[in-house]
Amino acid sequence: SQQGEEDPQALSIQEGENATMNCSYKTSINNLQWYRQNSGRGLVHLILIRSNEREKHSGRLRVTLDTSKKSSSLLITASRAADTASYFCATDTQAGTALIFGKGTTLSVSS
């Protein structure tokens, strides 16, 4: 059972543009995390937002969380070719023991 669903599935932009990807989830959460995966590699943690936070920034990343809509968005500003990767949102199972991931958004940034 996948808790999060990212949207869009794929996104192509030019360098310098902003990229926004969205995540919807089904049940109540304590926090929501975003991960990045370069092609054929493992996932790397980007940012975590807690359920009592509405917005969080880290460098060029901005994450928002709307618990009433059960949704989150990840904004990458001034994108670079090196941002080309797949991005996943993740939440804990209700027991809090495992992370459940969505299907991901594949971002392609061309120069």
Partner 1 sequence: DVKVTQSSRYLVKRTGEKVFLECVQDMDHENMFWYRQDPGLGLRLIYFSYDVKMKEKGDIPEGYSVSREKKERFSLILESASTNQTSMYLCASRSPVTGGPEAFFGQGTRLTVV
Q: Considering beta carbons, is residue 5 or 73 the nearer one to partner 1?
A: 5
Q: Note the residues at the interface with partner 1 (CB under 8 A).
A: 1-2, 31, 33, 35, 40-45, 48, 88, 90, 92, 96-104
The two structure tokens encoding residue 49: 């937002």
Q: Considering beta carbons, is residue 31 or 77 the nearer one to partner 1?
A: 31
Alpha carbons 111 and 92: distance in angstroms, whole number: 36
Q: Considering beta carbons, is residue 96 or 111 the nearer one to partner 1?
A: 96
> Measured in whole angstroms, how far is the alpha carbon of residue 2 from the centre of its chain?
14
CA atoms within 13 Å, Cβ hemisphere of 14: 1
Rounded to the nearest whole angstrom, what is the least distance from the CB of residue 16 to partner 1 in the complex? Answer: 29
Question: Are the C-beta atoms of 85 and 36 separated by less than 8 Å?
Answer: yes
Rounded to the nearest whole angstrom, what is the least distance from the CB of residue 95 to partner 1 in the complex? Answer: 9
Rounded to the nearest whole angstrom, what is the least distance from the CB of residue 11 to partner 1 in the complex? Answer: 16
Rounded to the nearest whole angstrom, what is the least distance from the CB of residue 51 to partner 1 in the complex? Answer: 12
Q: Considering beta carbons, is residue 21 or 102 the nearer one to partner 1?
A: 102
Alpha carbons 29 and 12: distance in angstroms, whole number: 30
Question: Are the C-beta atoms of 109 and 81 separated by less than 8 Å?
Answer: yes
